[in-house]
A and B are shown apart, each in its own frame.
Chain A
Amino acid sequence: MTPHHDDDEHVHTARIVRPYALTAGRTRASIDLPVEAIIEQQPRATEREWSEHDQVGQIVSACAGRTSVAEISAAVHLPLGVVRVLLGDLVEQGYLKVAATTLTDTSSTDVRQDLIERTLRGLRAI
């Protein structure tokens, strides 16, 4: 039998949210953060207390291991766009950093080929 799903599975109907209240209305992150970018804490992050009751504190805690932007968004239950803006701030403030290279539109062919070859070797080995 072919399962049939309708849009409601994906598009949660007209929920009133104020997603960018947390970012003071900013919708653009200060740095370019792809969904697969790996974020980790800088030493500075451990030199202060972070509240588990506010979302910025939860984001910093979520970065205690090496964690991707997408995983952080899932962990703190905030939309990707909002998490990106907050992560961008935390990186600029020196609490977090991007901990791995990702491909971008400007990656050289050598870099691209190298990463794809590594991925291929990795996939064949698992």
Chain B
Amino acid sequence: MDFGPSSPPPGAASTKIVVAGGFGVGKTTLVGAVSEIVPLRTEALVTNESSGVDDLAATPMKSTTTVAMDFGRITLGDDLVLYLFGTPGQRRFWFMWDDLVRGAIGAVVIVDTERLDEAFAAIDYFEAKGLPFIVAVNEFDGARRFPVEEVREALALPADTPVMTIDARDRGSAKAALIRVTEYALERITGMRTSVPQY
């Protein structure tokens, strides 16, 4: 059977979850803990002028920098593959997130309680895009422990945004974060449906 270039076989699907957060917060660790492959690295281009890649066509010699993105893969059956993309959380990488969040199920924002402010850019972005996200507090050894409600308050999160603590090194814990964000994405859809007036 030939499905043509843009019509994939019925049923087969691939999808993604974004893992965001400040530097060194445990993004690659979480991806590696649940991925069936050692996290791979790919790069996106940034021009120094931040004018977008289109300018490169006119001046292909212009110096560019690249932003690295780690990703992992989880095969969830014969016909479904989930990709996990770890991406740095700074505002200047937003150009890359536009591409990354399109079609994503949701995002896990990893935070370190010592540096909560590094999560603001990612949270603002996902809120603005309407992408379902959860906040996962990575409990580093020796770090002070904060109740999740304090983290929620410090990050000014809506009451329904899930906040959980994780150990990014632990497969079960990383998996629990992925399940939570997927459940939340589903709740958001079914919630939307039940709030639609029925005729």
Q: B-contacting residues of A (Cβ < 8 Å)?
A: 1-7, 9-21, 25-27, 31, 34-38, 68, 70-71, 73-74, 79-82, 91-92, 94, 96-105, 107, 109, 112-113, 115-126
Count of chain B residues near A, Cβ 8 A: 71
Nearest-CB residue, chain A, relative to B54: A27
Which residues of B pack against A, CB within 8 Å?
3-6, 8-9, 12-16, 23-24, 40-46, 48, 53-54, 56-58, 60-61, 63-69, 71, 73-74, 76-77, 79-83, 85, 88, 90, 99-100, 102-105, 112, 114-115, 140, 142-143, 175, 178-179, 182-183, 185-186, 189-190, 192-193
Q: Which residue from B43, B44, B88, B189 sits with its C-beta under 8 Å from A109?
A: B189
With A11-B66, A11-B67, A35-B42 known, 18 other A-B pairs at CB within 8 A are: A14-B48, A14-B63, A15-B63, A19-B60, A25-B56, A35-B16, A36-B81, A38-B14, A71-B73, A74-B41, A80-B99, A97-B6, A103-B104, A113-B186, A115-B13, A122-B80, A123-B82, A126-B74
Query: How many angstroms between the C-alpha atoms of A26 and B53 in the bound complex?
Result: 10
